[in-house]
A and B are shown apart, each in its own frame.
Chain A
Amino acid sequence: MNRRTNEEWVQQLSDPIDDQALSDLREILLRGLRASLSNRINTDLDAITEDFAQDALLKILKSIETFRGESRFTTWAQKIAIHVAYTELRRRRWKDISLQEIVETPEGDEYTPAILTDPATNPEQEVSQNNIFDIIYNMIESDLTERQRTAIIAILQGGMPIDQVAEKMDTNRNALYKLIHDARKRLQQSLEDRTGLTAHEVLAMFEQ
C-alpha cells in the first residue's frame, strides 16, 4: 500500500475521488476496527466492521474539508471510524433500557440518610466520616435540578454512557456534558459552603 502525505490523502479523496485511495483507506479502517473490536465482538466481526467502515468512509468523505492537518490523516480518519463504531455499540447495548429503570433500580446497597431534613437549614454542620454521606446525599437531593440529578445517577450509578443518557433525555452529548459540569460545579461549591472544606479535603478525611 502506498504511503501518502496528508495533502495526498485529502487531494485523492476529494472530487474526483481516486478509487485506489478510497480502497486503501477502507482497508486501513478495517484493520484498525478489527483490532479494536476483537475483544468486544465475538461473532460476525468481519461483517460488523465492514458496516462500520462503510459508515465511517461516508462521514470522512463528507467532512474531509474539516481536516485541519494537525494530525496524521489516517489518525483523523480512524478516530471517526472508532467513534462511529463505539457510538453504535453503546446504542445497541443500552437501547432497551429506560432511564427510569436505571435510576430507580440500584444494584448495590441503597443509602438511607440519617438526617432527612434539608441541611440547607443547618449549615456548617460538623463534618465527620459518618455524616459526609448524609451531606452529599442531601446536596444531590436539594441542590440539583431534576434533570441534573437524573443524568448524574444514570451515569455514575447506572453506568449508562453519557451519549445514551443524552438520547433518552432528548438532548445531545455536549449539552448534557455541560448540564453535568454545571451540576458538579454547583455541588463543589455547596460542599464548601456546607463543610468549609474542599472536595479534596473531604475525600482525604474520608479515606483516612
Chain B
Amino acid sequence: MKIEITTLKKVLKSLTITEVEELTCSECFNEIDQYVDMLREGKSPADVMPLVKHHITLCPPCREEFEALLVALEAIDADLE
C-alpha cells in the first residue's frame, strides 16, 4: 500500500483527537437536530453534547451535513419572516 507523507500527518493528528468513547454516524445523526436547534438559539450545545461536537470534528460527511443543515434552516427562516 502506498502511503503519502501528508497521510502520515493526518493519521497522527487523528490520534490526538481519538477518544475511548465516540459516537457512530447514526448516533450523531440522532442527536444533530437537537444540537443544531440549541446552537441556533444561542446556547452552547458542545457543553452538553460534547460527543456530537467531537464526531462532527472527526467525520467529514457528518460535518458536511451539519453545515448544510445550518444553511438550509437559515434559508427557511429568512423566507418565513
Across the interface, do A203 and B76 meet the contact criterion of CB distance under 8 Å?
no
> Residue of B at shortest CB range from A181?
B22
Across the interface, do A36 and B72 meet the contact criterion of CB distance under 8 Å?
yes
Which A78-114 residues sit within 8 Å CB-CB of chain B? 78-79, 81-83, 85-86, 90, 103-111
Q: Check: A33 CB closer than 8 A to any chain B CB.
A: yes
Question: How far apart are the CA atoms of A159 and B33 in the complex, in Å?
Answer: 26
Q: How near does chain A come to B38, taking the closest CB pair, in angstroms?
A: 9
Contacting residues, chain B, for A86 (C-beta < 8 A): 61, 64-65, 68
Across the interface, do A106 and B3 meet the contact criterion of CB distance under 8 Å?
yes
Please tell me which one of the listed residues A71, A136, A150 contacts residue B11 in the complex, with CB atoms under 8 A apart: A136
Mark interface residues in A106-145 (1 if CB within 8 Å of B CB, else 0): 1111110000000000000000000011001100110000
- With A111-B4, A133-B8, A178-B24 as given contacts, are A35 and B32 in contact (CB-CB < 8 Å)? no
Please tell me which one of the listed residues B5, B15, B60, B75 contacts residue A109 in the complex, with CB atoms under 8 A apart: B5
Across the interface, do A132 and B76 meet the contact criterion of CB distance under 8 Å?
no
- With A72-B37, A111-B4 as given contacts, are A78 and B76 in contact (CB-CB < 8 Å)? yes
Please tell me which one of the listed residues A36, A106, A178, A202 contacts residue B4 in the complex, with CB atoms under 8 A apart: A106
Please count how many residues in chain A sit with their CB below 8 Å of the partner chain's CB atoms.
Answer: 63
Q: Check: B79 CB closer than 8 A to any chain A CB.
A: yes
Number of A-B contacts (CB under 8 A): 158
Across the interface, do A200 and B16 meet the contact criterion of CB distance under 8 Å?
yes
- With A109-B5, A137-B3 as given contacts, are A174 and B33 in contact (CB-CB < 8 Å)? no
Contacting residues, chain A, for B72 (C-beta < 8 A): 31-33, 35-36, 78, 81-82
Across the interface, do A174 and B26 meet the contact criterion of CB distance under 8 Å?
yes
Contacting residues, chain A, for B25 (C-beta < 8 A): 162-163, 173-174, 177
Besides A90-B61, A200-B16, A206-B12, 8 other CB < 8 A contacts?
A3-B80, A32-B71, A78-B72, A86-B64, A111-B7, A157-B3, A177-B24, A199-B18
Give 5 CB contacts A-B under 8 Å.
A31-B75, A36-B68, A71-B37, A75-B73, A203-B12
Residues of chain B whose beta carbon lies under 8 Å from any beta carbon of chain A: 1-16, 18, 20, 22, 24-26, 29, 32-34, 36-37, 59-61, 64-65, 68-69, 71-76, 79-80
Residues of chain A whose beta carbon lies under 8 Å from any beta carbon of chain B: 1, 3, 28, 31-37, 70-72, 74-76, 78-79, 81-83, 85-86, 90, 103-111, 132-133, 136-137, 140-141, 149-150, 152-153, 156-157, 161-163, 173-174, 177-178, 181, 184-185, 187-188, 191, 199-200, 202-203, 206
